[in-house]
């Protein structure tokens, strides 16, 4: 997603899809996500990409939305996105799990409710 004039409906659809993806990634549980095998590595890569995509969706929210809803952790989302995109060597998978299993879905639901 980019600043290409995405409508509120398009952003909402993308956010709902992200929720479904988040649920799919976390469905196997924490131990599965944190395992050392290739499947777990792929789950973690998908999780990282989901956070990066979420920040792109946030950038497509209507003008003034972020400022109007400053109680939501937009800066935290941006910070995590930057960490995942640029600090890939020292990403803590347990923190990514905590984000996907709780904080990210809560954030997305809050945004959707306020749209």
**Span 48-85, pLDDT tens digits:** 999 999 999 999 999 999 999 999 999 999 999 999 98
H-type alpha helices, the chain:
8-26, 30-34, 38-59, 65-68, 74-86, 93-98, 104-114
What is the structure's pLDDT at 5?
67
Share of the chain above pLDDT 90, in %: 86
Q: How far apart are CA 104 and CA 15, in angstroms?
A: 11
Reported as a single tens digit per residue, the pLDDT across 33-54 is 999 999 999 999 999 999 999 9
Radius of gyration of the chain (CA): 14
From the list 98, 57, 64, the residue with the least C-alpha distance to 78 is: 57
- Domain residues of the chain, as ranges? 29-114
Helix axes 38-59, 8-26, angle to 10 degrees: 160
């Amino acid at each position: 997603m980019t600043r290409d004039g995405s409508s509120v409906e398009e952003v909402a659809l993308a956010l709902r899809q992200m929720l479904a993806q988040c649920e799919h990634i976390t469905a196997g549980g924490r131990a599965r996500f944190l395992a050392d095998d290739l499947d777990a590595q792929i789950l973690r890569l998908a999780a990282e990409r989901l956070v990066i995509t979420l920040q792109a969706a946030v950038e497509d929210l209507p003008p003034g939305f972020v400022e109007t809803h400053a109680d939501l952790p937009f800066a935290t989302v941006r910070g995590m996105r930057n960490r995942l995109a640029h600090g890939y060597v020292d990403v803590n998978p347990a923190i990514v799990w905590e984000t996907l299993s709780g904080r990210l879905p809560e954030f997305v639901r809050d945004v959707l409710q306020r749209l």
